[in-house]
Copies of this chain bind each other. A is one copy, B any other.
Amino acid sequence: MADLPEPLERLVARLLRLPGIGRRGAQRIAFHLAGAPAGDVRALAEAIAALPEALAPCTVCGNLAGADLCPVCADTRRDRSVLCVVELAENLAAVERTAAYRGVYHVLGGAISPLRGIGPGDLAIEPLLARLAAGEVREVIVATNPTVEGEATAHYLARLIVPSGIRVTRPATGLPVGGELEFIDQATLARALEGRQGFD
């Protein structure tokens, strides 16, 4: 097979580094851009090039922000008595998409992981404790991922925060909505049974 023209190959190689894009998808996008109006192509390039300078962590919660405060922290209607702790900004976006949460957030920047050499000092835990010390927060929902590392991080935080009298909770583990029992992994099913709830 002859190679693609060099400018296309270079773009394909770059696109392949993005999550969720394989060779076929990268080529499809490259050909699409090769035939797209120059103005559209440049607008995409500029939107990408602008990111490193345009985005900075929110000075309050660590979420990605285009200004000093992220859209959540800038929104005066959010309930500042409930604070949801997440590992990364994309996890925050996932919670936001539910439209079921009206509190604020704190982004840790990851989870404690001895295997990867990430300790509590590498995460935004001190800033979290400082926010809690201000006295406005009554409940902390620790929504780290339901992985070994996320669970360990949640327990670590709970040990730190519970003594201060602030309520610490964790999202329920259980069956996915619309799931079928036979397709659900054993660990999740076991946790769902363990956490079974009465019809009230």
Give Cα A33 to B88, complex, Å. 13
Name A53-68 residues within 8 Å CB distance of B: 54-55, 64-67
> Which chain B residue lies CB-closest to A94?
B27
CB contact between A34 and one of B3, B25, B64 (< 8 Å): that residue: B64
Complex contacts, A99 vs chain B, CB 8 Å: 1
Chain B interface: which of A7-15, A123-131, A158-166? A7-15
Asked whether A4 lies within 8 Å of B71 as measured between CB atoms, the reply is yes
Provide the bound-state CA to CA distance between A34 and B1, in Å: 35
* Residues of A in contact with B (beta carbons under 8 Å apart): 1-8, 10-11, 14-15, 17-21, 25, 27-29, 31-35, 38, 40-52, 54-55, 64-67, 70-72, 75, 88-90, 93, 96-99
